[in-house]
């Protein structure tokens, strides 16, 4: 699953291939997503977003992917000073034969923890 946090709209814009997680979210749209960065036992941080799954199709999906790509390009330019032009330049998931499922996670609550010694 690839995601981008659209802070302005308070949603995660995501895409993924068909599979277990998509099927599970279709059955129960109340979901959570955890992201963790672990350097060591004494140096880590994590964030959990709780919200609801909304699958997109057609022009809505294309519109959100456009926002996604502009946001990720901005992050890469700011952090790595590298200008990328296409989504396949920064996404490890390139779907050759399969069209990815585009969806939003509408965030209702965010919590986080960290440990740094």
Identify the band that residue 98 occupies on the pLDDT scale cut at 50, 70 and 90: low
Give per-residue pLDDT as tens, 7-46: 999 999 999 999 999 999 999 999 999 999 999 999 999 9
Place of tokens 């997109």: 56
As a whole number, the mean pLDDT across the chain is 87
Identify the band that residue 112 occupies on the pLDDT scale cut at 50, 70 and 90: very high
Q: Which of 53, 70, 58 is nearest to 14 (CA)?
A: 53
Q: Is 83 exposed, middle or buried (0-12, 13-18, 19+ CB in 10 A)?
A: exposed
- Percent over 90 (pLDDT), the chain: 65
């Amino acid at each position: 699953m690839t995601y981008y946090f659209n802070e302005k709209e308070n949603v995660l814009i995501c895409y993924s291939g068909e599979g277990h997680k998509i099927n599970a979210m279709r059955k129960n749209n109340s979901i959570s997503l955890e992201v963790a960065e672990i350097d060591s036992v004494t140096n880590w941080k994590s964030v959990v977003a709780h919200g609801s799954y909304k699958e997109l199709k057609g022009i809505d999906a294309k519109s959100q992917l456009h926002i996604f790509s502009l946001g990720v390009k901005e992050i890469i330019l700011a952090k790595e000073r590298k200008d990328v032009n296409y989504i396949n330049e920064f996404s490890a998931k390139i779907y050759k034969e399969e069209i990815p499922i585009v969806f939003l996670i509408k965030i209702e609550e965010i919590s986080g923890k960290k440990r740094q010694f």
